[in-house]
Amino acid sequence: MNIFKSIAVSSLFGIFILSSCAPIYKCGDPIPEKKPSGKRIQAVISERDSLCTDLAQEKQTTSNLRADKVVLEKKLSTQQTINYDQADQFGKALQEKSEALEEQEKLLKDREATLRELQDIIARKDAVTKKLNDVLRNALLGFNSDELSIDIIDGKVYVSLSDKLLFRSGSAAVETKGTEALKVLAEVLIKNPDIDILVEGHTDNVPIKTAIYKDNWDLSVARATAITRILTETNGVNAKRVVASGRSEFYPKATNETAEGRAKNRRTEIILSPKLDEMFELLKGN
């Protein structure tokens, strides 16, 4: 009988030590981004939510196991007459509960550690994004708000360059002031090599057909490619970091019903995203 009680006491002591250390990470803590987007970010958030669900289930299982242990211990402690077969049965059951509880608590600790690592990586990404935003704002102070704007959207830095700054109507040849802005931007990007770069061309919905461009699709792609070449071939940004794409008229910032709205829609957006390789290596290992 003393052997069985010894097992119970030692197990409960281990549980007390573990439960007295509250986890640093809480699933209820807010994610830094209000509306994360993009496949890579969404995968991380999905994994985080899944871990939180698993963690809640494991905590409930652990709580149930603790309750079962208490019942077994009470049965052992209230045995008035020693029935060695029954005592042996209780002892084995208690040992099984102790082992199951230990396994659950190990799994719970592993989940909490993974959650903390994910949260730390997301926090570092946010810090990089904010720093990049601040650096770009300072570097591009010489340009007017109707020519260039910088915003953080869904954890990425959007540098929006207006048609007024970059191109003449129906052309993909970059104007002198536009090349100056791209040179400043390239200098920042070269100093921050762990940033992925997406160049997106956008137009309004006014149809275009010239000897060079069949429609707005052609024009938006040509403009994105022209800017990509200036960043890479002229100013030395590593071409492996850059993706060029054309969105035509299908992602407007404003209404196309007014001249002012159409002017806002004729733009090129350079979207800068901190790389998340570290985060996905972590997820592959879990």
Q: Grade residue 70 by pLDDT with cuts at 50, 70 and 90.
A: confident
- CATH 3.30.1330.60 placement within the chain: 140-280
Share of the chain above pLDDT 90, in %: 41
Q: What is the mean pLDDT of the chain?
A: 78
> Buried (b) or exposed (e) across 43-59, using 16+ Cβ within 10 A?
ebeebbeebbebbeebb
Paired residues of 163 in beta bridges: none
CATH of domain 2-133: 1.10.287
Neighbours of 161 (CB within 10 A): 25
For residue 20, what pLDDT is reported? 32
Over residues 77-85, mean pLDDT: 62
Signed CA dihedral, 126, 127, 130, 136: sign only? negative
Alpha helix segments (H runs only) across 1-38 = 2-19
For residue 11, what pLDDT is reported? 34
71-85, 120-134, 223-237: lowest mean pLDDT where? 71-85
Pick from 143, 148, 152: nearest CA to 125: 152
CATH of region 140-280, choose from 3.40.50.1460, 2.40.50.140, 3.30.1330.60, 3.30.420.40: 3.30.1330.60
Tokens of 71: 């019942």
For residue 24, what pLDDT is reported? 37
Pick from 159, 152, 148: nearest CA to 189: 159
| Cβ proximity of 227 and 174 under 8 Å | yes
Angstrom distance (rounded) from CA 118 to CA 47: 9
Pick from 267, 27, 23: nearest CA to 146: 267
Tokens of 40: 């890579």
Query: Which is higher by pLDDT, 36 or 58?
Result: 58
- CATH 1.10.287 placement within the chain: 2-133
The bridge status of strand 195-202 relative to strand 148-153 is: unpaired
Query: Which is higher by pLDDT, 285 or 113?
Result: 113
Q: Grade residue 270 by pLDDT with cuts at 50, 70 and 90.
A: very high
Q: Grade residue 224 by pLDDT with cuts at 50, 70 and 90.
A: very high
Pick from 50, 55, 58, 48: nearest CA to 117: 48
**29 has pLDDT over 60:** no
